[in-house]
């Protein structure tokens, strides 16, 4: 189903629609077919307008079996369409899904338009010329359904046909069968006898600024952004070290195929070794990057402390997922914010930034490399399970116009010691092994501010602690002041968000403003340090609403930093916010008495 | 007119000493190992700027501070991971890992397993003193059963791990063993380890004078050493004793070694096993020898090189285009599935 969704996404993007997707699948690799916990879903919203979320309520639900209907019917709007494969609505599958009676017959779907086709039989007939096993033939059902959907929305099929031929290059009969199923589904739409039920839709192209576009997932954008960052820093290579963990592994897989761009990937023996290799690489003058999700981030904690103590530039990408512990590995959450900002022993500050959309991952990755190399510090990039998979159209940037921030390795031995600081940034000198005359020793033991040698001196430790804090705090002077994403820069209500909730908050604020409410959207990329004007900006609003996919972490940080009466809106369901949930909260804040 | 060629002055051992005061306990075996390392570096003519020492935590881990090369004192057990990252970033660097029995075989056991298995081109020196020194004397994973320590007042009930057996089991392709006080042997082994391309593992029995003094005396004391140490050499028979009057052979009928008298009164020399450092099965038998029934095997126990990890990795990367003309980022971004919106 994920493949079917991805192909529909590509064809939709090529048709010039704006779109946002939400792949939602179980952690089990091949969960038993027909069970509710094995349902793999792919949600896409597309249109001619500005699409910012995968959509609250679904207009068309394609249910390939009773379990999918059971799980996803609640997301269908009243009056929406359901396409079902009657061939999959067997007694056995109905029982597995927990339907006491067949919902196609008991009238329970009356509020919806139900379109029933025996997709299983139609697919089997379409592919019977190719001599597939029954099982293989049944697996072509998704392509039949995709063909029908492509017809419904007037999409082309050629790119998918080419893709199928590449994918099954060594099993031509499978390629032919899948293409036949795709074509059969499409032809069915054109000629079906039940055509009074089937209506073809035309979705015009979204008005978009001129340029070259493609769809991009958050993971792809991150990978390419890291490469662009490496180039911006003038570094020769990136050592990317990771350990398999859902949903972060995708980044390792993506970069493993980009070696021509100066990337060496290393699958380490564990999360600790992965960040260790990134630190070693940074020490030796490369861009060191590691990536993980919450549980793996916990394992990397001690190494982050070492990178802070030795002041080495690494980028750590955290694709957050629902926790604690193993939690729900494929479901998104924003609950690692505290861990990223505060989760280390001792006073151990580092920079934390977050990506708002799949496209934003590109710029955020470049910015992470810039901050890391300019300030000689680890930078944590917060992404999440939703952003890792979600895709949207992206206007390709001009590669020649990307940011440049070349690093200057120390080469001059005169007066050198490893803690020599740049007076402006407080960054220490980056002196790389291989440089004659700069041989030095670094490590996790406290070092003397003026010589870099081991020091247990009490005043020196206080001075070093302050220097480490001042260096990170100073980044606030080197990042853009916080802007208002939508609305006025003062007023009754500010909705303050961070990370992948951007689209839902933005739409909600837009809707509320259209209804005449005084509300603005502020979205934070920089979470540590905060932009220098943030406190002053927040003070200009009567109420501050902070929607988060956690139990209230940013709201806590904002209150602590600025003593503002920020109020949280929490969702911890493993799913993104719906626009309506945020609109309701905005209305509720407006209705209630001001403080 | 005369032409003067300026060459780097030849470096001597003291050129590899840093300006930092060495702070191990007086009489610690680490001093001897430090001297041996400095001597080995001098004899190798190792360029200081291209030499990196990486350590974890423990007494041994202070090592990098006392050398004038590049050095990275990391965290407990993780030196192999950081050394791997250094080597991946710059395979031209000469990277040494200094670890101990607790650092390398307990908290860092997993990293040691994998760095050896992967065959990253590093020299790994494991100082084995069978005790946790820096944390004040707790038993370590190499401590013998019955070791009394602050955490085992009634004696440890654990069976120890053998460092070299672990290394062989992990797939190490260079395994050697020496005693801290036998400096010429240590220097020679370090030079062999350095010449080996891939992960080289050198265990040094190191005496902790404070918490475990004399723990190796039963085979390192001068009066017993000739009878309890077997110095192996590739292609030479496995003989030991003050006048090499004893040797090792395979017990007929089973896969076990036995000590036999050599010469007129005993077994002819040609029946004694000849050391073959490329033979892993023999190496496994040798590392398991323990007094009093057997001597302790020292020297290069196993050496069977294969292409190192980072070389293989770079060869793959180069085959995929790494290091050629910088690939066009614009081409990457617009590689597939693009469309154009016209004005």
Please give the full DSSP string across A255-305, using - where no structure is assigned. Answer: HHT-GGGTEEEEE-SSHHHHHHHHHHHHHTTSEEEEEE-HHHHHHHHHHHH
For residue A272, the chain B residues in CB contact (below 8 A) are: 78, 81, 111
Q: pLDDT class for B92, splitting at 50, 70, 90?
A: very high
Longest dimension (CA), chain A: 87
pLDDT at B317 over 60: yes
pLDDT at A16: 84
- More confident position, B333 or A565: A565
pLDDT in tens, B236-280: 999 999 999 999 999 999 999 999 999 888 999 999 999 999 999
Closest residue, chain A, to B89 (C-alpha): A281
Smallest CA–CA separation between B50 and chain A, in Å? 5
Across the interface, whether the CB atoms of B85 and A209 are under 8 A apart is answered: no
Residue with tokens 């949930």: A581
pLDDT at A200: 65
On whether the CB atoms of residues A347 and A443 are closer than 8 A, the answer is no
Closest residue, chain B, to A222 (C-alpha): B333
Smallest CA–CA separation between B14 and chain A, in Å? 15
pLDDT at B2: 47
Query: Mapping DSSP to helix (H, G, I), strand (E, B) and coil, where does residue A370 land?
Result: helix
Chain A interface mutation, best of B58, B59, B341, B342, highest count of A Cβ atoms under 10 Å: B341
Closest residue, chain B, to A11 (C-alpha): B337
CB pairs under 8 A between A and B: 219
pLDDT at B3 over 70: no
Residues of chain A with pLDDT under 70: 193-202, 593-595
For residue A369, the chain B residues in CB contact (below 8 A) are: none
For residue B58, the chain A residues in CB contact (below 8 A) are: none
For residue A266, the chain B residues in CB contact (below 8 A) are: 84-85, 88, 313
**Mean local confidence (pLDDT), B86-103:** 98
> Which residue from A208, A279, A302 is facing B85, i.e. has the nearest CB?
A279
On whether the CB atoms of residues B286 and B258 are closer than 8 A, the answer is no
> Which residue from A269, A285, A442 is facing B72, i.e. has the nearest CB?
A442
> Which residue from B69, B75, B86 is facing A303, i.e. has the nearest CB?
B75
For residue A209, the chain B residues in CB contact (below 8 A) are: 341
Query: Mapping DSSP to helix (H, G, I), strand (E, B) and coil, where does residue B96 land?
Result: strand
Closest residue, chain A, to B336 (C-alpha): A214
For residue B320, the chain A residues in CB contact (below 8 A) are: 259-260
Task: Please provide residue A175's backbone torsions phi and psi, each rounded to the nearest 5 degrees.
Answer: -60, -50
**Mean local confidence (pLDDT), B186-195:** 98
On whether the CB atoms of residues A365 and A221 are closer than 8 A, the answer is yes
Beta partners for residue B340, in sequence order: A212
Query: Mapping DSSP to helix (H, G, I), strand (E, B) and coil, where does residue A356 land?
Result: coil
Average confidence score pLDDT of chain B: 95
For residue B75, the chain A residues in CB contact (below 8 A) are: 302-303, 305-306, 444
Across the interface, whether the CB atoms of B341 and A435 are under 8 A apart is answered: no
pLDDT at A256: 97
Across the interface, whether the CB atoms of A276 and B85 are under 8 A apart is answered: yes
Q: What is the pTM of this model?
A: 0.91
**Mean local confidence (pLDDT), B138-160:** 97
> Which residue from B57, B64, B322 is facing A262, i.e. has the nearest CB?
B322
Across the interface, whether the CB atoms of B334 and A396 are under 8 A apart is answered: yes
Across the interface, whether the CB atoms of B332 and A438 are under 8 A apart is answered: no
pLDDT at B7: 46
Longest dimension (CA), chain B: 102
pLDDT in tens, B99-133: 999 999 999 999 999 999 999 999 999 999 999 99
Query: What is the enclosing helix (H) or strand (E) of B195?
Result: helix B183-195
Across the interface, whether the CB atoms of A284 and B90 are under 8 A apart is answered: yes
Task: Please provide residue A524's backbone torsions phi and psi, each rounded to the nearest 5 degrees.
Answer: -90, 125
For residue B52, the chain A residues in CB contact (below 8 A) are: 284, 433
Smallest CA–CA separation between B13 and chain A, in Å? 16
For residue B313, the chain A residues in CB contact (below 8 A) are: 264, 266
Strands (E) across chain B are located at 51-55, 70-73, 94-100, 123-128, 174-179, 200-205, 229-231, 239-240, 246-250, 257-261, 296-303, 339-341
Beta partners for residue A211, in sequence order: B341
pLDDT at A426: 98
Query: Mapping DSSP to helix (H, G, I), strand (E, B) and coil, where does residue A447 land?
Result: strand
On whether the CB atoms of residues A435 and B52 are closer than 8 A, the answer is no
Contacts 24+ apart (CB under 8 A), A103-106: A103/A66, A103/A69
């Amino acid at each position: 189903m994920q493949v079917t969704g991805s192909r529909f996404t590509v064809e939709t993007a090529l048709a010039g629609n704006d779109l946002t997707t939400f792949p939602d699948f179980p952690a089990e690799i091949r969960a038993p077919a027909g069970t509710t916990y094995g349902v793999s879903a792919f949600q896409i919203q597309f249109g001619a307008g500005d699409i910012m979320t995968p959509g609250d309520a679904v207009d068309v639900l394609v249910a390939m079996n009773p379990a999918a209907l059971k799980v996803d019917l609640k997301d269908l709007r009243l009056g929406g369409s359901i396409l079902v494969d009657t061939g999959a609505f067997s007694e056995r599958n109905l029982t597995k899904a927990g339907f006491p009676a067949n919902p196609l017959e008991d009238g329970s779907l009356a509020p919806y338009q139900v379109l029933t086709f025996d997709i299983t039989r139609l697919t089997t007939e379409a592919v019977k010329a190719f001599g597939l096993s029954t099982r293989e033939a049944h697996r072509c059902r998704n392509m039949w359904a995709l063909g029908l959907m492509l017809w419904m929305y007037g999409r082309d099929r050629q790119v998918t046909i080419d893709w199928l031929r590449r994918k099954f290059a060594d099993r031509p009969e499978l390629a032919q069968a899948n293409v036949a199923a795709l074509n059969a589904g499409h032809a069915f739409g054109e000629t079906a006898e039940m055509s009074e039920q089937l209506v073809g839709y035309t979705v015009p192209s979204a008005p978009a600024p001129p340029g070259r576009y493609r769809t991009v997932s958050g993971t792809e954008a991150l990978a390419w952004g890291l490469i662009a960052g490496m180039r911006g820093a003038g570094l020769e290579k990136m050592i990317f070290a990771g350990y398999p963990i859902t949903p972060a592994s995708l980044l390792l897989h993506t970069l493993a195929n980009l070696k021509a761009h100066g990337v060496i990937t290393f699958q380490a023996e564990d999360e600790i070794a992965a960040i260790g290799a990134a630190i070693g690489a940074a020490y030796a003058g490369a861009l060191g990057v590691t990536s993980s999700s919450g549980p793996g981030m916990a394992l990397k904690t001690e190494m982050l402390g070492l990178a802070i103590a030795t002041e080495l530039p690494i980028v750590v990408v955290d694709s957050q997922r629902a926790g604690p512990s193993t939690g729900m590995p494929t479901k998104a959450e924003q609950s690692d914010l505290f861990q990223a900002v505060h989760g280390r022993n001792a006073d151990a500050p580092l920079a934390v930034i977050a990506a708002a959309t799949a496209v934003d991952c590109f710029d955020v990755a470049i910015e992470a490399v810039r901050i890391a190399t300019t300030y000689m510090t680890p930078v944590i990039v917060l992404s999440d399970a939703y952003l890792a998979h979600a895709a949207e159209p992206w206007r390709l940037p001009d590669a020649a116009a990307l940011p440049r921030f070349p690093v200057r390795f120390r080469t001059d031995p005169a007066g050198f010691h490893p803690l020599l600081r740049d007076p402006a940034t407080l960054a220490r000198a980056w002196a790389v092994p291989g440089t004659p005359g700069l041989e030095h020793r670094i490590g996790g033991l406290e070092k003397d501010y003026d010589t870099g040698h081991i020091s247990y001196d009490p005043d020196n430790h206080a001075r070093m602690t302050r220097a480490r804090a001042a260096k990170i705090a100073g980044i606030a002077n080197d990042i853009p002041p916080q802007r208002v994403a939508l609305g006025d820069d003062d007023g009754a209500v500010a909705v303050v968000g961070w990370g992948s909730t951007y689209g839902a908050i933005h739409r909600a604020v837009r809707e509320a403003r259209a209804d005449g409410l005084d509300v603005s959207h502020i979205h934070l990329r920089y979470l540590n340090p905060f932009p220098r004007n943030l406190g002053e900006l927040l003070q200009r609003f009567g109420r501050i609403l902070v929607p988060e996919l956690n139990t209230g972490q940013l709201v806590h940080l904002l209150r602590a930093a600025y003593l503002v009466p920020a109020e949280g809106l929490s969702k911890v369901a493993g799913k993104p916010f719906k626009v309506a949930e945020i609109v309701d909260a905005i209305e509720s804040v407006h209705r209630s008495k001001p403080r | 007119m005369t032409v003067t060629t300026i060459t780097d002055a030849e470096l001597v051992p003291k050129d590899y000493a840093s300006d930092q005061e060495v702070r191990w306990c007086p009489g610690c075996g680490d001093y001897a190992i430090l001297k041996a390392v400095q001597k080995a570096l001098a004899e190798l003519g190792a360029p200081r700027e291209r030499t990196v020492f990486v350590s974890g935590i423990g007494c041994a881990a202070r090592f990098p501070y006392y050398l004038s090369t590049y050095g990275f004192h990391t965290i407990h057990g993780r030196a192999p991971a950081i050394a791997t990252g250094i080597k991946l970033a710059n395979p031209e660097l000469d990277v040494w890992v200094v670890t101990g029995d607790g650092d390398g075989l307990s908290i860092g056991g997993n990293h040691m397993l994998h760095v050896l298995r992967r065959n990253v081109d590093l020299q790994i020196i494991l100082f084995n003193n069978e005790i946790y020194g820096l944390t004040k004397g707790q038993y370590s994973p190499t401590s013998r059963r019955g070791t009394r320590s602050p955490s085992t007042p009634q004696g440890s009930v654990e069976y120890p791990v053998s460092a070299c057996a672990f290394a062989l089991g992990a797939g190490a392709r260079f395994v050697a063993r020496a005693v801290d006080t036998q400096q010429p042997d240590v220097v020679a082994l370090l030079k062999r380890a350095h010449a080996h391309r891939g992960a080289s593992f050198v265990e040094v029995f190191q005496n902790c004078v404070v918490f475990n003094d004399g723990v190796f005396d039963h085979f390192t004391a001068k009066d017993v050493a000739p009878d309890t140490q077997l110095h192996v050499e590739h292609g030479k028979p496995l003989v030991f004793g003050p006048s090499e009057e004893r040797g090792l052979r395979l017990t007929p009928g089973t896969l076990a070694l036995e000590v036999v008298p050599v010469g007129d009164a005993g077994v002819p020399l040609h029946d004694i096993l000849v050391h073959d450092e490329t033979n892993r099965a023999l190496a496994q038998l040798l590392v398991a020898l323990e007094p009093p029934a057997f001597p302790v095997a020292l020297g290069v126990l196993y050496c069977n090189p294969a292409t190192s990890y980072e070389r293989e990795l770079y060869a793959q990367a180069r085959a995929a285009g790494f290091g050629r003309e910088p690939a066009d980022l614009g081409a990457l971004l617009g590689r597939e599935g693009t469309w154009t919106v016209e004005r």
